[in-house]
Structure 1
Amino acid sequence: MVIAVTLMLVLSSAQQQLAVGEHVFEYRILDNGLRVYAIEDPGETTSVFMAIAAGTRDETAGTTGLAHLTEHAMFAGTATTGADIHEKTIVGWGGESNAFTRDDYTMYYDHDFASEHLPEVLSMEADRLRGLTLESEPVLNERHRLNTEEEHAYQPSDGRAQQLENAVYNSHPYRHGLRDAGGHTKAPGLSVAQVKFFYDAYYHPNRAAIVIVGPHKPAAVLNMAEESFGKLESQATTNNHYFEPEVTASRTVVIKSQLPRDKVVRCWLTPKIQHADRAALDVLAAMLQRDEIKSGVLVNVSTGGRIEQELFKMSWSVGDHDAGVIAKEVSRMLTSYKLGEADASVMTEVKELLADVYTSQPMRSRPYFALAGTLSWYAAHDLTEVLAGYHDAVMAVTSDDLARVCKTYLAKKKCVTVTFRGTGEAVKPLPESISELQAEAAAAFETGHYARAIEAYTLILAQKKDPMSQIINFTERGSIHLEMKNYDAAIADFEAGLTYYDYPAVADMLEDAIAQKKRAMRGNL
């Protein structure tokens, strides 16, 4: 049964409810502007997710990495909790504590700790929200850690993604993510004073949201949170308003790359996340992703999930094919939707899969995949109605809507085409080290050399055995099999990945692969 996602009516001025699918959160907006959500979840442990409405988009070209460095500084200590003590305390209570930075927000989480310690955890979170001492030595230690993290985590494919955004956006700070040849932002050279400036500008209760999941009654949890955070003062904060001017004349950008073959990416600007057309654009992208062109070249289609004006992207590798022929075939794909020729049965399948992308998430797990974590950043930006209404918005999309958004946003004159010029060099044998294999797998996938990408992921899977790496690599390889219409291989990989962790995103991909296989079998009857 499809569960309608609706925003519940306000019950009282103090305590209200928000329904996301079958989950009903109790919440309270404190006098200082902090949004606190709680939901009862059976078990002996509790998880706390805190999102700050500030991320890399709030940096400048000269301060890239500042949001991430401030995230690290949140573990550098307060007057009552020393450097690294927050994390060690949570671990000592059986849980884990960490954080991550995204373009639109920064997320902190204390996950799976013994529930009797909830009051203390909330007190520690409130303490560091406004009480960091930001002493030089611990902050500079965190800067060193970040420097090492950037070196180890950076992949050439990340650099190409950043080059793409820098080429397409003219003024929006999403374009500021360029890194140097070593994979570094400006963070290694940023000062403690700059961290303090960012912290004082954005880290206030009226720019934050807390979601608490555990066995306690929600009313009691909200009272605990108010006891800890209610004493913090609301302050006028930096409220940046970002806008990217509409593209009114198509343009082409060519970027030299280390890819062996040319890669072409067509990009169009889409409206902000709260705009009614974002759901239709998501459906359109998912349907185009299933389509094929006559030359057999695989076209990857994607939309992002960021808050600001996002990019709708269609990309492909030229390889040995005629570039002009591919471009015309891609244009014909779009024309069919502009004419209202969307396949109704495929659209129904796509909508049913897409509509539950949030409600199918587990309530709490690692925050990248947790509904509670997702809710926290939507709430920090006062966008909970968008999250709560996404299911209904997707299910309401019609063929006429697809035609309209295709004409409105994906017009030829609004397109920015970015070509990553390949080296033309012969493909070398695959390397042996995991880091080099990962880079080769990403490059092969980007340029449509799918057999090579699959081979690289197979070698990685044979070497890297930790559960998190296994599910990621099985999922990556399964995604490539699905692109190639190798449904059985895709299904096998997704099922293998799910034996390590029951991640909803992978489960959705498995469901999609099964649905596509059934459709292909019906077509062959």
Structure 2
Amino acid sequence: MHWRLPSRRVWLGIIVSFVALPSIAAADPDLVLANGLRVVVQEDHRTPDAVLQVWYRVGSLDEENGKTGLSHLVEHLMFTGTAALPDDSFAREIAAAGGRVNAFTGYHYTAYSVQLPATRIASALSLEADRMRNLLISPAQFARAKDAVRAERKWRIDESIQALAREKLMAAAFAGTPFAHPVIGWQSDIDLIAIDDARAWYSRWYTPDGAVLVVTGDVSSSGIVDEARRIFGGIPAGNMARSGAPVFPEFHTDRISMSGQSAYVVMVYPVPGIDKATPTLRHTMKVIARLLDETDRAGADGRAVMSVHAWSDLDRPGAGIFVIDGTAEPPAVAADVEKEIMRRVEMLKREAIPARRLERIEAELVADEQRSQSLFARARRIGLEATAGLPLRKADGDTARSAEELNAAIREATMRYLLENRRAVAISDRM
């Protein structure tokens, strides 16, 4: 029996109905306190939980050569305690309230997230306000944090030839710009960062006028605003001025060769970043990624000899990226992987994709969109846009298109952005 999937317009109608339930506030408060703290609240009474996130407008783009990784290191240090709550008391207090913590650093932000029962939101606000200006950084805590960052870098990057290839490729493609540096920092810089560097970074950037407070969940908007004024309002502004999103940096079409244990190819193309990418372009690039990595080429025994994957990152200010990588097992080599990737890219420029295949991909993306409606994901979207200095999108709108329209958009995007003379490539082949 063959089941026909609903069209994208039907799926979009399902999503719009899901998002527009009466239990979600029709208008979300978005205001700035007297000390510069921006407060954004989105009510959602379908769950007893709440997510509180504090986003600071500082990330790896703000770091200087020789001091890369400072933002990420301070992220770790934010859990080392204050006079009122020493050591790991912050995490223990949240756990005792039935919640969990998370933190993450990017190119233009450092963010801290707490999810817990909505009835405990006031205590979480007080904890965040305390560490916004009262962080203690002792030599012992600093040493432990550096050790944790070194260990994280080791297992995330240094022990993976693929991660090293991507890191080297980004450094070459965006040479001479802050985008060339990994968010986690270069190992040599991490080793040389001093405790006074971390203290100065925290003092400079962790101020209410450099932060965005986002709350989503089973809360009262007016209640959160009142609590934010009471709890954060007494923290003085730091007169922290930051320029807008950076202009698109120069992109170098470099080619890097490495030696490794297997054949691996990764290529990166420059695309618009968070400040330029429209909802329609975002969706089109997601479809293109699915089309490129949808199928592995397998040998006669069913074992995959070549695997290609693609993804986009359009949440970086100034410069987004579209990445395609692939691996191969013997007898294939890196040259075979690159040839296969380029065959797939060129095919998208010439051949129309069957409507049923597009329909299936659209259904998968709709499912992803539904999953992205979690409290955490919605708070994260707000924080990303707010720290980039952008107006908040209430919704992407109906980007539903026919197969013919979507095929035209795919051809236009691939011919505009996925150009062979506008890519940087790193190749790792067997020694």
**TM > 0.5:** yes
What's the counterpart of residue 489 of structure 1?
A: none
From 67, 71, 76, give the equivalent of 2:75: 71
Aligned-pair Cα RMSD in Å: 3.6
| Number of residue pairs aligned between Structure 1 and Structure 2 | 400
Distance 1:331 1:124, change over 3 A: closer
What's the counterpart of residue 226 of structure 1?
A: 229
* C-alpha distance in structure 2 between counterparts of 1:398 and 1:90, whole Å: 46
What's the counterpart of residue 300 of structure 1?
A: 309
* C-alpha distance in structure 1 between counterparts of 2:175 and 2:195, whole Å: 30
From 126, 129, 133, give the equivalent of 1:126: 129
* C-alpha distance in structure 2 between counterparts of 1:292 and 1:75, whole Å: 43
Q: Mapping of 1:196-207 within 5 angstroms?
A: 196-207=199-210
Measured after TM superposition, the shift of residue 119 of structure 1 is 2.2
1:279 counterpart = 2:283: yes
What's the counterpart of residue 159 of structure 1?
A: 164
Contact 1:3 1:21 in 2 (8 A): no
1:400 counterpart = 2:408: yes
Give per-residue Cα distances to partners, 1:198-246, cap 9 Å, x unaligned.
Answer: 2234323343222324443222122212222233344233437263214
From 323, 333, 336, give the equivalent of 1:313: 323
Indicate the SS of the match to 1:97: strand
Distance 1:72 1:179, change over 3 A: closer
Indicate the SS of the match to 2:398: helix
TM-score of the superposition, structure 1-length normalised? 0.66
Measured after TM superposition, the shift of residue 48 of structure 1 is 1.7
* C-alpha distance in structure 1 between counterparts of 2:163 and 2:306, whole Å: 23
Distance 1:326 1:194, change over 3 A: closer
Measured after TM superposition, the shift of residue 65 of structure 1 is 2.2
What's the counterpart of residue 176 of structure 2?
A: 171
Q: Mapping of 1:294-373 within 5 angstroms?
A: 297-308=306-317, 309-318=319-328, 319-321=330-332, 327-339=338-350, 341-355=352-366, 357-361=368-372, 363-364=374-375, 367=376, 370-373=377-380
Gaps of 5+ in 1: 8-18, 424-525
Residue identity in the other structure for 1:306? D
What's the counterpart of residue 85 of structure 2?
A: 81
What's the counterpart of residue 61 of structure 2?
A: 57
What's the counterpart of residue 379 of structure 1?
A: 386
Distance 1:97 1:328, change over 3 A: closer
TM-score of the superposition, structure 2-length normalised? 0.78
* C-alpha distance in structure 2 between counterparts of 1:303 and 1:152, whole Å: 23
Give per-residue Cα distances to partners, 1:61-90, cap 9 Å, x unaligned.
Answer: 422321121112222333543332222222
Residue identity in the other structure for 1:307? R
What's the counterpart of residue 45 of structure 2?
A: 41
From 241, 246, 257, give the equivalent of 2:246: 241
What's the counterpart of residue 30 of structure 2?
A: 28
What's the counterpart of residue 271 of structure 2?
A: 270
Contact 1:159 1:179 in 2 (8 A): no
What's the counterpart of residue 14 of structure 1?
A: none
Distance 1:178 1:238, change over 3 A: closer
- Out of 153-162 and 267-276, give the one that drifted further: 153-162
Gaps of 5+ in 2: 1-9, 300-304
What's the counterpart of residue 213 of structure 2?
A: 210
Residue identity in the other structure for 2:165? R
Indicate the SS of the match to 1:299: strand
Residue identity in the other structure for 2:269? W
